[in-house]
């Protein structure tokens, strides 16, 4: 009888210890997943800016800038859904920083171009509680006026 009681106490202690171990282990895995998502999206910043679909070119030669007229017509959700949602869900957009547009529109549409401030590139249209935003500066090219302006590329990691 004493041996049975000792075995029962040992089993209870073992189950409680395994419960704590798996709880803390799963938290570490979640944190590692979030860190991997942030790192992969940081790398993604440079790859988005060099996508030929939106990169500007002069006489067939690529330039290190983003063509805003291409941003208006290219729909990344048709071509790059798997690229943007493979690790975690994110929203990608460009904003003009300087000079500030006179008629600031929330989201750029055909009628407001080129006096826009925000150019959406990829939006999964999912609900989220919070987000982590990472960004990098870019050069925005406006072919209608043949001028360059300062902008930022934002990747908003949705959580």
Domains identified in the chain, total number: 1
Q: What is the pLDDT of residue 106?
A: 66
**Residue 45: pLDDT over 70:** yes
Higher pLDDT, 125 or 94: 94
Is the pLDDT confidence value at 134 over 70?
yes
pTM of the model: 0.73
Measured CA distances, 89 to 51, 61, 127, 134, 151 (Å): 19, 33, 10, 14, 23
Local confidence band at 104 (pLDDT 50, 70, 90 cut-offs): low
Give which of 91, 88, 86 is closest to 32, Cα–Cα: 88
pLDDT at 103: 61
Query: Where in the sequence is the domain holding 29, given as residue range(s)?
Result: 2-158
| 9, 52, 62 from 18: Cα distances, Å | 14, 52, 57
């Amino acid at each position: 009888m004493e041996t049975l009681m000792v075995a029962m106490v040992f089993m209870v202690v073992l189950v409680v210890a395994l419960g704590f171990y798996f709880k803390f282990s799963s938290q570490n895995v979640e944190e590692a997943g979030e860190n991997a998502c942030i790192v992969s999206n940081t790398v993604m910043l440079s790859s988005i800016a060099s996508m030929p679909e939106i990169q500007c070119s002069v006489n067939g030669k690529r330039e290190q800038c983003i063509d805003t007229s291409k941003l208006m017509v290219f729909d990344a959700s048709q071509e790059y859904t798997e690229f943007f949602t493979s690790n975690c869900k994110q929203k990608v957009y460009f904003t003009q920083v300087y000079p500030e547009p006179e008629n600031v529109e929330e989201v750029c549409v055909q009628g407001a171009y080129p006096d826009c401030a925000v150019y959406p590139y990829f939006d999964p249209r999912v609900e989220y509680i919070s987000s982590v935003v990472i960004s990098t500066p870019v050069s925005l090219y406006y072919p209608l006026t043949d001028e360059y302006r300062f902008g930022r590329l934002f990747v908003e990691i949705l959580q």
